[in-house]
Amino acid sequence: MLEVKNLSVAYGGLRALADVTLSVAERQFVTLVGPNGAGKSTLFKTISGIVPPVSGTISFAGESLLGRRPSERAHLGIAHVPEGRQVFKTLTVRENLEMGAYPKAGRAHWTQTLDRIHTLFPILAERAGQLAGTLSGGEQQMLAIGRGLAGAPRLLMLDEPSMGLAPTVADTIFERISQIHREDGVTILLVEQRVAEALERSDHGYVLETGHIVLEGRYETLLADDRVRRSYLGLTEEA
Amino acid sequence: MDLEILIENVLNALTAGITIGCIYGLMCIGLGLIFGIMRIVNFAQGELLMLGMFASFYLVSEGRVLSVLGLYWGPFIGAMLAGPMIFIAGALLHRFIVSRVSGLRTVGSLDEGHFGQLVVTLGISLILQNGGQILFGSTPVAVRTPLSSEAFLIGPVYQGATVFLNKAKLVAFFVAVLAAVVLYLTLEYTRLGKALRAAADNPTAATYMGIDVDRSYRIAFGLGCGITAVAGGLMATYISFGPFVGFDYVIIMYSGVVLGGMGSIFGAFWGGVTVGFVQQFSALILPPQLQNAAIFVVFLMIVLLRPQGLFGRSAERA
Amino acid sequence: MRHGAGPLLRWNVMVLAVVVVAYLLLAFFVTNSYYQLILTLVPVWALFGVSWNILSGYGGQLSFGHASFFGIGAYTVTLAVVYWSLSPWLGIPLGMVLGGVAAIAIGLPTFRLRGHYFALSMLAYPLAILYVMQYLGFQEVSMPMHRDNALAFMEFDEPRIYTLIAVLLLVGGVVVSLIIENSRFGLALLAIRQNELAAEAAGINARREKMRSLVVSGMMGAAAGGFYARVLLVVTPDSVFGMLVSAQAVVVTLFGGVASVWGPVIGAAILIPLAETLQAELGTYLPGIQGVVYGVAIIAVMLLSPDGLFWTIRDRWFRREAPQAIPNLEPVPQPARRPSAHSAGPLLQVEKVSRAFGGLRAVSEVSFSVAEGEILGIIGPNGAGKTTLFNVLNGVLDADQGSARLDGQPMLGKKTFEVCRMGVGRTFQVVRSFSRLPVLDNVIIGAYGAGLSDREAIAQAVRALHQVGLQDRSGVAAGQLTNKQLRLMELARALAGNPRLLLLDETLAGLGREECDEVLDVLGRLRVQGMTICIIEHTMHAMMRLADRFVVLDHGRVLATGPPRVVVEDHSVIEAYLGKKWLARHGA
């Protein structure tokens, strides 16, 4: 469904991604892990069109994304739940979800998706009239995911949903993401630091380090590979 | 007898403060909307007010296209029609000039593009002011309505003290409040309004939702211009004006927006109302030339002592 | 005077001399009195532009209210003649003094504001004065003539003498501006314009420098206004305090070239005659054509060449081949380290420092110490509070509680530039350089901030360049450096203040493997020379090799402290980085 081929990106004069190739099949759950500063968020921003690539291609459902304006991409069925949540703080919880449903598909299925979001995250129904800026970090994360779902996307991209959250809250979030994948059949591309939590739910994983894909494979393979830890903690042997 | 005059003056200042204040409020919303959504300080806002006045003037004055509407309805319909006209003008200005020095493309640049955006709107202001002089001439004109010389008398409320309600100002007041309410409902409850607020809150995230932020900004700029132009059209029924009239009101607009808390769109309305009151009441104690100076002093004090505005918490976006 | 300014300054002075002679020759042959007036007004508006440029061009403090100073000068000169029969020869200096006083009165409250707020507030001052002048009845004040004592009252039958005086005033303004441009003051202003925070971190007292620039600017603006009043012989509030006056300064400078001494001169020389001629030729049919021309001019300039004509022309046709390295720069030996008061104790001692934003505890009871000569790596997941910790340590943010001592001296509660002067150098995640200035000038800012004399500052900057290995690139404009070299330049800027402690924030971000190794070598050499370093960094393989010790932060708290090899095996650290599931699978 999503094909990224030989993608290179320079960001503010810095080289952020080099020759990255990655693919996500329909209904797959793919995880991208890697240490801070590896370029994971840059990859997401490039897919969403906020950052232009230097070279390479990105296609979604067989169609090249590079000619598409950033705002059109959501309407194709790509939902991006950004790093740091980025909810609309001055809008209410309900209005945030409505904005999530801005794409055509989201509007068409609004009542069902809203029910579904409220089932997954009941707190969002309770807080419907509250300003999003007054929510706690975990609630904002739930809102950000709910807002992504509201567009009835085909592909849900989640950027570090556990960032800055207490472990128990993070666990809930991960559980919900699995549920969305299993029960709603949404294709998931997840970027995470918490390697094990992320990988154990996914079908396929990639490890990104300083802009390169250094490892990829099925989750059992990656989880068993101590190179992941070495990459995170800087223990990779020098060439 | 002294008390009687005092009461009469205070009551008249009060009613004039409310009517004029609400018209100022509408005028301020235009600037506040542009700042609140795009963080653009539009120096040319006074000139858009002026364009609103002239748009109305050229539509409905004697012998013009819409003069058939008559002298009672015409001027107010003209004011309302000035809105869409100046909306288009504003959207074009944004499309071809303002957007090139503001918005997403300046994020992260040196000083976040303040310089370019302030200077470009200053340039627009100079062109409109002086171009206005070429097009419209510098002789002051007015949109005549018999209502501006008619008043409702209320009272006497205390001995001989009577309240005068100018009919033109009263109708203008109702139109202004109506326009503000319509705008409020639009921003608060329609899909477009919510999308504008989302684009203001977090342009990047709004793009992820599929909102075309450039287009939203263009609409917001046009709306801000159009709203101020409606206020201009309304004011045109009770003042005379020339191409440089914007200058007299631009500081009132800044004061209103700052008083309301920069970034708060409807705070700007209450800010404008406050300025109306300050102006009317300062007339009781200060000579006329110092009324504007009084507004500046209030403006400076607010900026220096309470930059978040009287009606807002800190509105500056992080 | 700064290093290497000599040749450039000589060149500028020569240009100035040629321009002045040519202009005066031109003025000599012009007999039409209207054109003579234009020739007198060009230098006046150029001077006013130069004045605006000092505050808003070099210092970046955008002012739309410069008419305050112009008007104060104009009214002082006029009213002094009217009421005290004081000659303009004395009235202009008096106006300049009042302009300077007004600058202080305006600056004290207004510099508390930044950006939009500053620009808007500045707009209000001249307009407020304008209405007060109208109220006081100074609607239209004419300057009485003193035929009996013409010379003493600056009255000449020969109009070309006014042109001469105007040119001399402008020469004065240009010279002042050139001196500022080539002094540490000018460099400090540029640094503030670029990034006020980084300037403060380099030891510059931004508030004081901004105030100085406003005073110089205000005095110069008043001189322009004062002479303008003498030439036109009549002042009205609108003609000297009006919006168009303020706009004039902005327009000529931006059109000609902002932050260059020649910008306002070029702008005035082109726009004033153009607008005046149009006004004279077409004014009757097209009143206001002047304002339209100005408006079109500044919009066109902002869209096509945002820095103004001077820079566009210079960058396109006169990009002189700068030498790679500025010759004859010898490094001084490493100065003796400041003697330590408590040589036994740690250099930096941080105890229970906390800082919250609303409900979020970004830094929570953080304690650690750094020994002299040690490299301490501060690591942790995104959002762990690392940069916030640095901001608290060097005074950018206030701590809610806790203490931090540098060699026994308390650091918290001091202003950023004061912390820098205590001997703390800092670099930032995002490098902000002065792309048109040579590398050496970029580095010298750090030495100036530390309060060194010009000579010492050059020597220190050169030494810092040697320390990071950029000595062969000292003459290159910073805009031509690679990312790695920029990082090294920023490091050199921090070193030029001869700090005892360096706080480095993501110095290796975005560097490739080899580049990263080169920067690591430089940091390694600094360690050998005895420098103490705290470094935030995500590139773990580099940190493993560089740091003596790690402090791991997570959710604002210290998770672990110790030697790198030990810390990365620590379970809580592995959990923070890889999650507890990973630990459960691989743990123990």
Question: How confident is residue B313, by pLDDT bands cut at 50, 70 and 90?
Answer: very low
Summarize pLDDT for A148-160 with one digit per residue, the tens. Answer: 999 999 999 999 9
Of how many residues is chain A composed? 239
- For residue A89, give the chain B residue with the closest CA: B201
Phi, psi of C540 (to 5 degrees): -65, -35
The single-letter DSSP state of residue A200 is: T
Contact of A225 with C585, CB cutoff 8 Å: no
Q: Which residues pair with A33 in a beta bridge?
A: A192, A207
Share of residues in chain A with pLDDT > 90 (%) = 61
A151 touches chain B (CB under 8 A): yes
Select from C430, C510, C582 the Cβ nearest to the Cβ of A195.
Answer: C582
3-state DSSP assignment of residue C530: coil
Contact B258 C132 (CB under 8 A): no
Instruction: Determine the Cα–Cα distance for residues C211 and C55; give it in Å rounded to an integer.
Output: 9
User: Residue C113: its chain B contacts at CB < 8 A?
Assistant: 303-304, 307
CB atoms within 10 A of CB C34: 11
| Among C521, C479, C487, C525, CA closest to C504 | C487
Side-chain half-sphere CA neighbours of A224 within 13 A: 5
**Strand ranges, E, within C90-209:** 141-142
| pLDDT(B257) > 80 | yes
Which tokens is C88 given? 């303009």
Distance from CA of C534 to the nearest CA of B (A): 27
Q: Rounded mean pLDDT of B292-310?
A: 75
Of how many residues is chain B composed? 318
The pLDDT score that the predictor gives to residue B1 is 55
Question: How confident is residue C334, by pLDDT bands cut at 50, 70 and 90?
Answer: low
CA B34 from chain centre, in angstroms, equals 11
Contact of A183 with A215, CB cutoff 8 Å: no
| pLDDT(C164) > 60 | yes
Q: 3-state SS of chain C: helix, strand, coil percent to 5?
A: 60, 10, 30
Summarize pLDDT for C215-227 with one digit per residue, the tens. Answer: 999 999 999 999 9
Give the strand pairing for C401-406 and C348-357: antiparallel
The secondary structure of C35-50 as a DSSP string is HHHHHHHHHHHHHHHH
Q: Which chains are within 8 Å of A by 3+ CB pairs? A: B, C
Q: Rounded mean pLDDT of C526-534?
A: 90
Contact of C351 with C392, CB cutoff 8 Å: no
CA C365 from chain centre, in angstroms, equals 36
| Among B218, B297, B249, B196, CA closest to B26 | B249
The pLDDT score that the predictor gives to residue C283 is 75
Q: Which of residues 470-529 of C touch B (CB under 8 A)?
A: none
The pLDDT score that the predictor gives to residue A142 is 95
Instruction: Determine the Cα–Cα distance for residues A56 and A8; give it in Å rounded to an integer.
Output: 6
| pLDDT(B307) > 70 | no
Maximum CA extent, chain B: 68
* Cis peptide preceding B156, ω within 30 of 0: yes
Decide which of C240 and B254 is more confident.
C240
| pLDDT(A69) > 60 | yes
3-state DSSP assignment of residue B137: coil
The pLDDT score that the predictor gives to residue A34 is 81
Select from B194, B195, B205 the Cβ nearest to the Cβ of A86.
Answer: B205
Helices (H), B236-287: 246-260, 265-285
The pLDDT score that the predictor gives to residue A200 is 82
Contact of C178 with C261, CB cutoff 8 Å: yes
The pLDDT score that the predictor gives to residue C338 is 52
Summarize pLDDT for C561-572 with one digit per residue, the tens. Answer: 999 888 888 888
| pLDDT(C113) > 50 | yes
| pLDDT(C333) > 70 | no
The pLDDT score that the predictor gives to residue C451 is 77
Contact A229 C586 (CB under 8 A): yes
Summarize pLDDT for C35-75 with one digit per residue, the tens. Answer: 899 999 999 999 999 999 999 989 888 888 899 999 999 99
Which helix (H) or strand (E) segment holds residue C454: the answer is helix C454-468
- Lowest-pLDDT choice from C273-277, C359-363, C416-420: C359-363
Query: Distances in Å between the alpha carbon of C74 and those of B76, C79, C107?
Result: 45, 9, 20
| pLDDT(B317) > 50 | no
The pLDDT score that the predictor gives to residue C322 is 60
Q: Which residues pair with B151 in a beta bridge?
A: B166
Share of residues in chain A with pLDDT > 70 (%) = 95
Question: How confident is residue B106, by pLDDT bands cut at 50, 70 and 90?
Answer: low
The residue among B286, B303, B308, B314 with the most chain C CBs within 10 A of its CB, best to mutate, is B303
The pLDDT score that the predictor gives to residue A12 is 60
Q: Which of residues 73-112 of C touch B (CB under 8 A)?
A: 109-110, 112
Instruction: Determine the Cα–Cα distance for residues C491 and C507; give it in Å rounded to an integer.
Output: 8
Helices then strands (H, E): number in chain C?
Answer: 24, 12
**Strand ranges, E, within C186-235:** 234-235
Q: Which amino acid is it at A188? A: I
Instruction: Determine the Cα–Cα distance for residues B53 and B63; give it in Å rounded to an integer.
Output: 17
3-state DSSP assignment of residue B168: helix
Q: Which of residues 215-274 of B touch C (CB under 8 A)?
A: 243, 247, 251, 254, 258, 262
Side-chain half-sphere CA neighbours of C491 within 13 A: 27
| pLDDT(C169) > 80 | yes
Helices then strands (H, E): number in chain B?
Answer: 11, 2
Q: Rounded mean pLDDT of C320-331?
A: 64
The pLDDT score that the predictor gives to residue A238 is 40
Instruction: Determine the Cα–Cα distance for residues C359 and C81; give it in Å rounded to an integer.
Output: 63
The pLDDT score that the predictor gives to residue B108 is 45
Instruction: Determine the Cα–Cα distance for residues C471 and A74; give it in Å rounded to an integer.
Output: 50
Question: How confident is residue B113, by pLDDT bands cut at 50, 70 and 90?
Answer: low
Q: Rounded mean pLDDT of B74-103?
A: 90
C514 touches chain A (CB under 8 A): no
- For residue C552, give the chain A residue with the closest CA: A233
The single-letter DSSP state of residue B103 is: G
Instruction: Determine the Cα–Cα distance for residues C365 and C350; give it in Å rounded to an integer.
Output: 10
Distance from CA of A194 to the nearest CA of B (A): 24
User: Residue A164: its chain C contacts at CB < 8 A?
Assistant: 382-383, 555
Question: How confident is residue A45, by pLDDT bands cut at 50, 70 and 90?
Answer: very high
- Lowest-pLDDT choice from A7-16, A96-105, B254-263, C467-476: A7-16
| Among C297, A49, C309, CA closest to B104 | A49
Contact of B284 with B233, CB cutoff 8 Å: no
Q: Rounded mean pLDDT of C147-167?
A: 86
B194 touches chain A (CB under 8 A): yes
Q: Which residues pair with A31 in a beta bridge?
A: A190, A205
Round the average pLDDT of chain B to a whole number and report it: 85
* CA R_g for chain C: 28
Phi, psi of C353 (to 5 degrees): -80, 130
Contact of C95 with C77, CB cutoff 8 Å: yes
The single-letter DSSP state of residue C562 is: E
Contact of A39 with A17, CB cutoff 8 Å: yes
The pLDDT score that the predictor gives to residue C343 is 56
Contact A196 C513 (CB under 8 A): no
User: Residue A99: its chain B contacts at CB < 8 A?
Assistant: 194-195, 198, 206, 209, 211
Contact A228 C578 (CB under 8 A): yes
Which tokens is B216 given? 């939203």
Contact of B118 with C119, CB cutoff 8 Å: yes
- Lowest-pLDDT choice from A50-59, B264-273, C404-413, C563-572: C563-572
Which tokens is A16 given? 């952020």
| Among B187, B249, B188, B265, CA closest to B46 | B249
**Strand ranges, E, within C462-588:** 501-505, 532-536, 549-554, 557-562
The pLDDT score that the predictor gives to residue A79 is 95
The pLDDT score that the predictor gives to residue B311 is 63
The pLDDT score that the predictor gives to residue C319 is 63
Contact B127 C131 (CB under 8 A): no
Distance from CA of A144 to the nearest CA of C (A): 18
- Lowest-pLDDT choice from B60-69, C36-45, C89-98, C399-408: B60-69
Give the strand pairing for A2-11 and C360-370: unpaired
Q: Rounded mean pLDDT of C187-202?
A: 85
Contact C303 B138 (CB under 8 A): no
Contact of C305 with C312, CB cutoff 8 Å: yes
Distance from CA of C514 to the nearest CA of A (A): 11
Question: How confident is residue C337, by pLDDT bands cut at 50, 70 and 90?
Answer: low
Q: Rounded mean pLDDT of B228-234?
A: 95
Which tokens is B221 given? 């700029």
Which tokens is A229 given? 């830890």
Q: 3-state SS of chain A: helix, strand, coil percent to 5?
A: 40, 25, 35
| pLDDT(B157) > 80 | no
**Strand ranges, E, within chain B:** 151-158, 161-166
The pLDDT score that the predictor gives to residue B316 is 36
Q: Which chains are within 8 Å of C by 3+ CB pairs? A: A, B
Distance from CA of C301 to the nearest CA of B (A): 9
Question: How confident is residue A97, by pLDDT bands cut at 50, 70 and 90?
Answer: very high
User: Residue A196: its chain C contacts at CB < 8 A?
Assistant: 578-585
B82 touches chain A (CB under 8 A): no
The single-letter DSSP state of residue C477 is: B
Question: How confident is residue B105, by pLDDT bands cut at 50, 70 and 90?
Answer: low
Contact of C53 with B115, CB cutoff 8 Å: no
Distance from CA of A233 to the nearest CA of B (A): 31
Select from B130, B289, B296 the Cβ nearest to the Cβ of C290.
Answer: B130
C247 touches chain B (CB under 8 A): yes
The pLDDT score that the predictor gives to residue C286 is 78
| pLDDT(C455) > 70 | yes
User: Residue A89: its chain B contacts at CB < 8 A?
Assistant: 201-202
Instruction: Determine the Cα–Cα distance for residues B266 and C273; give it in Å rounded to an integer.
Output: 46
The interface predicted TM-score (ipTM) is 0.92
Contact B207 A50 (CB under 8 A): yes
User: Residue C127: its chain B contacts at CB < 8 A?
Assistant: 251, 292, 296
Name every residue whose Cβ is closer than 8 Å to that of residue C244 and which is 6 or more positions away in sequence. B126, C291
Q: Report yes or no on whether pTM surpasses 0.90.
A: no
Distance from CA of B274 to the nearest CA of A (A): 25
Round the average pLDDT of chain A to a whole number and report it: 89
Q: Rounded mean pLDDT of B43-67?
A: 86
Summarize pLDDT for C271-321 with one digit per residue, the tens. Answer: 999 888 888 888 777 778 888 888 998 899 888 887 788 888 887 776 665
Instruction: Determine the Cα–Cα distance for residues A205 and A196; give it in Å rounded to an integer.
Output: 11
Q: Which residues pair with C370 in a beta bridge?
A: C348
Give the best-scoring range by mean pLDDT among A161-170, B41-50, B258-267, C315-324: B41-50
User: Residue A137: its chain C contacts at CB < 8 A?
Assistant: 360
- For residue B205, give the chain A residue with the closest CA: A86
Q: Rounded mean pLDDT of B105-129?
A: 74
Instruction: Determine the Cα–Cα distance for residues B155 and B158; give it in Å rounded to an integer.
Output: 8
User: Residue B252: its chain C contacts at CB < 8 A?
Assistant: none
| Among C460, C498, C492, CA closest to C3 | C460
Contact C115 B111 (CB under 8 A): yes
Phi, psi of B167 (to 5 degrees): -70, -40
Name residue, tokens 């700090």.
C499
User: Residue C430: its chain A contacts at CB < 8 A?
Assistant: 12
- For residue B262, give the chain C residue with the closest CA: C117
Decide which of B50 and C545 is more confident.
B50
Torsion region of B148: left, alpha or beta (phi above 0 gives left; psi -120 to 50 gives alpha): alpha
Q: Which chains are within 8 Å of B by 3+ CB pairs? A: A, C
**Strand ranges, E, within C85-179:** 141-142
Contact C302 B123 (CB under 8 A): yes
**Strand ranges, E, within C4-158:** 141-142
End-to-end CA distance of chain C: 65
Phi, psi of B275 (to 5 degrees): -60, -40
Round the average pLDDT of chain C to a whole number and report it: 86
